[in-house]
Amino acid sequence: MREIIYAQAIKEAMCEEMRNDPDIILMGEDVGLYGGSFEVSAGMLEEFGKKRVRDTPISEAAIAGCAVGAAVTGLRPIIEIMFSDFITIALDQIVNQAAKMRYMFGGKAKVPMVMRTPAGSGTGAAAQHSQSLEAWLCHIPGLKVVVPSTPYDAKGLLKAAIRDDNPVCFFEQKLLYRKKGMVPEGEYIVPLGKADIKKEGKDISIITYGRMIPTCLKAAQDLEKEGISVEVVDIRTLLPMDKETVIQSVQKTGRVLIVHEAVQTGGFGGEIAAVIADSDAFFYLDAPIKRLCGLDVPIPYSPELEKNVVPTEPEIKAALKRLLI
């Protein structure tokens, strides 16, 4: 094991898979010469050459369309959409083509492609470059949606995504790119659709994902000093979701707080709440299911406002305490 940053873990996953499979290619704006807008693909052009690491025109629809065509004709493309806000431009190819083909051709067509995209707020990039749109894609049968929180998970989940025969949307929250974590040097995979309990507890459960994981863990560790035992469940793959782990955690603690950065209205937290309410875990609840999510506003440019439109550590601790009254 060695300590590396999240961005490096993602690059390692791509490089290792590309060395093992000549059908894997990387496409996107500035992924080659520039090394990616967040330097995730730095050096890959030199190692794999122009045929496999392709700089594209500034057209997300064209990038996604090329990937769908390449995937159904035998390649395994990875595409990078520079900011997740711009998946709005690529959605016709992702939603109406990539997600549907396997079903429409009775399983005879496969679409093994990964759409990687930096997401989320916290970098001063304002309203059009800071959104968290993962819930949109969770509404589309045929897609898989992944939001890793640690370098270990990012590498293992991306390798699993690249090997999957279905289109996978892989959200990389920008504030995590420089976060360090322990990652094995050898081969490993983190399976899609399997949650991870980042911290065990007995009094209350937090169900969350992505960059809210370190914030929730810090809140949970602080409350431990006050005698409150908090379990933190990282769902990691939103679609398909590991419902069993969520339900078991709520059955154990009897109280649950759902936390995510994306805005609350229409956010994925509503789906998590519904899964709990529709299961036997409902009968174990000692308090109502609560959500703590981003405010229903565009991400502001002001740094102070930007920090406070997403859940903060004090807000998480206060919400947990209210549930325990």
In which region does residue 267 sit, left (phi positive, over 0), alpha (psi from -120 to 50) or beta (all else)?
Answer: beta
Backbone angles phi, psi at 25, to 5 degrees: -130, 160
Q: Which residues of 131-154 are buried (b: 16+ CB within 10 A; e: fewer)?
A: bbbbbbbbebebbbbbbbbbbbbb
Backbone angles phi, psi at 248, to 5 degrees: -65, -40
Q: Out of 129, 159, 174, 211, which one is annotated catalytic?
A: 129
Cis amide prior to 300 (ω within 30 degrees): no
Q: Distance between CA 183 and CA 37 in Å, rounded?
A: 23
260 a catalytic residue = no
> Three-state DSSP class for 201?
coil
Helix ranges, 177-278 (H) = 212-224, 243-253, 268-277
Q: Distance between CA 108 and CA 293 in Å, rounded?
A: 40
CA angle, 198 then 199 then 205, to 5°: 100
Give the catalytic positions in this structure: 129
